[in-house]
Structure 1
Amino acid sequence: MTQHKLDPIDQEIVQRLSHDARISNRSIAKEVGITEGTVRQRIKRLQKDGLIQFTVVTDSAWQALPIFA
């Protein structure tokens, strides 16, 4: 099994995504001091390597709302 190491930039990206998974790549880039393209590439790599994933969690109470009927 290959061990993955997150460098400091990856750690910064993951930290920001952990706080708010909807944060834009542009915002992350500005806060970390790298380009938006670099953020995008690193997130793709982290996903491909299985180090991060994005998941939707729903509240079952919402299913009772008329918009879901």
Structure 2
Amino acid sequence: MNNRKIDDLDLEILNILQADGKVSNAEIARKVGKAPSAVLERVRKLRRSGIIKGYECIVDHKKLGRGLTAFTSIRVEEGVGATEVGEKLAELPEVLEVHYTAGRDSYLVKVRVEDTESLQATLAKFGTIAAVRDTNSTIVLTTVKESRIIPLPSSSD
């Protein structure tokens, strides 16, 4: 990623896109008071610079049979800075996030599965990775907030 300078207009565009990734270019242009062609060029530059990494569809995991969310701390035996285990964990479809962490445990992993039996099966998969030494899971009872939106200042701040 290059070191592209972000200005107030970029921040406005990013805030709009984070709120609704499907918003049309014409709607963004209307909201920021610029020509659609100027906005399109801004969005293209934001993508080229790597600031905008992509767009995604957010689905209701419960309606798709993945009602149980768990966070699992994983202790491994691998060299400092090595992330081979993390890469193997990331290959599992029920694993949504893998974070390499500092401290006692090496990884914090977010999983979404059907139920506790499915969680048990997922933990067993973790155990098949040679360097995994210990896991500790926390089951989510209720999610109060879950977001991928990065708070950005607006031009009025």
Same fold, judged at TM 0.5 (above): yes
Instruction: Find the aligned partners of 2:54 and 2:2 in 1 and give their Cα distance.
Output: 22
Q: Which has the higher contact order (CA 8 A, sep 6+)?
A: 2
**Counterpart contact for 2:29–2:39, Cα < 8 Å:** yes
Per-residue displacement from partner, 1:7-37 (whole Å, max 9, x unpaired)? 0000000000000000001001011000000
Structure with greater strand percent: 2
TM-score (norm 1): 0.75
SS in structure 2 at match of 1:38 = helix
TM-score (norm 2): 0.35
Instruction: Find the aligned partners of 1:21 and 1:45 in 2 and give their Cα distance.
Output: 16
Structure with greater helix percent: 1
Match in the other structure for 1:18: 18
Instruction: Confirm or deny that 1:53 pairs with 2:53.
Output: yes
SS in structure 1 at match of 2:37 = helix
Match in the other structure for 1:30: 30
Instruction: Find the aligned partners of 1:45 and 1:2 in 2 and give their Cα distance.
Output: 11
Which has the higher Rg, Structure 1 or Structure 2?
A: 2
Q: CA RMSD in A?
A: 2.1
CA apart distance, 1:53: 1.9
Percent sequence identity is 31
Structure 1 consecutive aligned stretches of length 4 or more whose deviation exceeds 4 Å: 57-60
Structure 2 unaligned residues grouped into runs of 5+ = 66-157
Match in the other structure for 2:8: 8
**Counterpart contact for 2:29–2:35, Cα < 8 Å:** yes
